[in-house]
Amino acid sequence: MDIKDLKNVIGEAKAGEVATIRFFGKITEESALCFNNEFDYLETYVRPSLIRVLINSEGGSVLHGMSIYSTIQNSTIPTECIIEGMAASMSSIIWAAGNKSLMRDYSILMIHNPFLPSEGSEESDMVEAFRKQITTIYRKRFGLKKEQVAAIMDGAEGKDGTFFDARSAVEQGIIPAGNVLHTTKQLCEKVKNALAAIKSAAEIQALMEVINIEAPAVENENKHFSKPAPIHKQIHNNETDMTEENKKSTEYAAVAATLGMKDNFEVKDVVARITGLMSVEAKLGEKEKALADAQTVIAGKDAAIQNLQKDNATLNSTLEQYKKKEEDEITAKINSMIETAVTEGKIDNESKGQWVEMAKSNFGLAQNTLASIPAREVISKEIASDPENAKKAAEAVRTTEEIVAEKVSAVVGKDFEFKTLR
């Protein structure tokens, strides 16, 4: 793959610098595959210092959206996801995948419950599994409570989920104020006025594509939300200006007591303790993120297990249907064969049950046995009702012995006896 052939990568991506890749449009199998391949190329071969993902999407497939989420979430290179226009439905999950989640001041975030095109009783388990997985992502990624996430996903009565602009996203605690990328008041007003006449997510996405052209490019270092100097650094800078008396002021004594330090302390001891606690806090944050990632993976595996269980149940049901159909066909075949044998006079009605049991046990044996029995001639009703025919039929069934005896009697007489030889 050549860097020039990449469809979603913006500008020239170089090693050790910020690389920008976008996900615009609907989430489909094709768009997800293209994005994942290009992201993997940046991560594996280009090796930039940061991968920035720009998002303007109405959402789409939950399954393929989760593949994009996993690609960004598992990146070995730092990532940040920015809502350039709109992140609605499943694309809001993609936005949550980065190490940082940012949004333009005019952009739109929409969060709602997942659904399938035609929900029914058979689909409810799959939908519920995805809902739990998505809820876990929102909770762990943004530090929201379970009830708060549920309320956002459900939305107000009569609404599908909840829409946020940058300000309301900050007010809800989804992102800090520092994660809002500011543009101009005029641009924000333009978007606000245009949105008043728009109803669908697809239309909002199309509007944002036009607005993005007017918006300024994101700065490589994101200077507009640089962090204030750490507490310990501020203390250190002021340390030289303090007199010995100030070093043990009431404020420092209170801080020292909070930190569990005794009366005999120095400012440097307080600074060292604060620095140590900040280090512990940073490690705790890393552990919490690792735990959140693990819980997200577990939720994903739970969803996969439920899907496999559903597929297994479907296969078992289908197999039972095929077995039933096969049994019905065999029964019909046996009954047809036995009825034919009765009709042909090979067996009588009284023995039908025995022949059926034989055929069930060994169909081939029953079939071959019945085939070896000659069919008996059946006299039609009309022939049988004629007296002359009935007489001929009766004569036809006399045994050979009866016929021979009758002929002998005609020649020698009825009372013929052999004479005794002297």
Residues 221 and 285 in one domain: no
Distance CA 1, CA 12 (A): 14
Q: Please determine, for residue 329, whether its predicted confidence score (pLDDT) is greater than 80.
A: yes
Burial class of residue 236, CB neighbours in 10 A (0-12, 13-18, 19+): middle
Q: Does the structure show a pLDDT above 90 at 118?
A: no
**265 and 347 both lie in a single domain:** yes
CA dihedral 211, 215, 219, 222 (to 10 degrees): -70
Residue 295's alpha-carbon distances to 67, 140, 165, in angstroms, are 17, 9, 29
Q: What is the DSSP string of 45-82?
A: II--SEEEEEEEE--B-HHHHHHHHHHHHT-SS-EEEE
| pLDDT given at position 243 | 39
Answer yes or no: is 87 within a domain. Answer: yes
The answer to whether residues 155 and 111 belong to one domain is yes
Are 83 and 111 spatial neighbours (Cβ–Cβ below 8 Å)? no
Last residue of a domain, one of 225, 259, 292: 225
The phi, psi pair for 140, rounded to 5°, reads -75, -35
Instruction: Give yes or no for residue 245 having a pLDDT over 50.
Output: no
Instruction: State the average pLDDT over residues 225-250.
Output: 38
Calpha distance 372→352 (Å, rounded): 17
Same domain, 208 and 246: no
pLDDT value at residue 226: 39
Q: Is 21 helix (H, G, I), strand (E, B) or coil?
A: strand
46 found inside a domain: yes
**What value does the mean pLDDT take over residues 126-142?**
82
Question: Does 325 share its domain with 237?
Answer: yes
Q: Which helix (H) or strand (E) holds 80?
A: strand 79-88
- Rounded to whole angstroms, how far apart are CA atoms 112 and 152? 7
From 176, 194, 225, the end of a domain falls on 225
The answer to whether residue 420 is domain-embedded is no
Q: Specify the higher pLDDT residue, 76 or 263.
A: 76
Compute CA distances 35 → 16, 139, 209, whole Å. 21, 26, 18
Residue 100 lies in a domain: yes
Q: Find how far residue 116's CA is from the centre of its chain.
A: 10
CA distance 45 to 198: 42
Q: How far apart are CA 83 and CA 91, in angstroms?
A: 9
Q: CA angle 154-159-162, nearest 5°?
A: 60
Shared domain for 154 and 173, answered yes or no, is yes
Task: Say how far apart CA 228 and CA 225 lie, in whole Å.
Answer: 9
**What is the number of domains present in the chain?**
3
Q: Same structural domain for residues 137 and 51? A: yes
Name the token pair of 111: 């969060």
Q: What is the CB-side half-sphere exposure of residue 220 using CA atoms within 13 A? A: 9
Whether residue 217 lies inside any domain: the answer is: yes
What value does the mean pLDDT take over residues 237-248?
A: 39
Residues contacting residue 146 through CB under 8 Å, at least 6 positions apart: 135, 139
Q: Residue 20 — φ and ψ, nearest 5°?
A: -115, 130
Q: Closest Cα partner for 183 from 103, 101, 285?
A: 103
Give every CB contact of residue 129 below 8 A, 6+ residues apart in sequence. Answer: 302, 303, 306, 307
Residues 31 and 132 occupy one common structural domain: yes
Q: Same domain, yes or no, for 56 and 172?
A: yes
- Highest average pLDDT, of 38-47, 225-234, 254-263, 338-347, comes from 38-47
What integer pLDDT is reported at residue 271 of this predicted model?
A: 58
Note whether 113 and 144 are same-domain residues.
Answer: yes
Query: Of the candidates 208, 225, 242, which is a domain's last residue?
Result: 225
Across 161-165, 242-246, 266-270, 306-310, least confident range: 242-246
pLDDT of residue 351: 87
Instruction: Classify residue 187: in a domain, yes or no.
Output: yes
| Domain assignment of residue 418, yes or no | no
Same domain, 173 and 246: no
Q: Both 394 and 351 in a single domain?
A: no
The pLDDT of residue 239 is above 50:
no
Other C-beta atoms lying within 10 Å of the C-beta of residue 74: 12
Q: Could you list the residue range(s) of the whole structural domain that residue 399 is in?
A: 381-412
pLDDT in tens, 33-48: 999 999 999 999 999 9
- Residue pair 6/37 in contact (Cβ under 8 Å)? The answer is no
| Residue 44 DSSP one-character state | I
Average pLDDT score over residue span 135-157: 85
Residue 274 lies in a domain: yes
166 touches 103 (CB < 8 A): yes
How far is the first Cα of the chain from the last one, in angstroms, to the nearest whole number? 128
Residue type (1 letter), 5: D
Which phi and psi (to 5°) does residue 111 adopt?
-120, 130
Phi, psi of 156 (to 5 degrees): -70, 160
pLDDT at 411 over 80: no
> In CATH, what number is assigned to the domain containing residue 127?
3.90.226.10
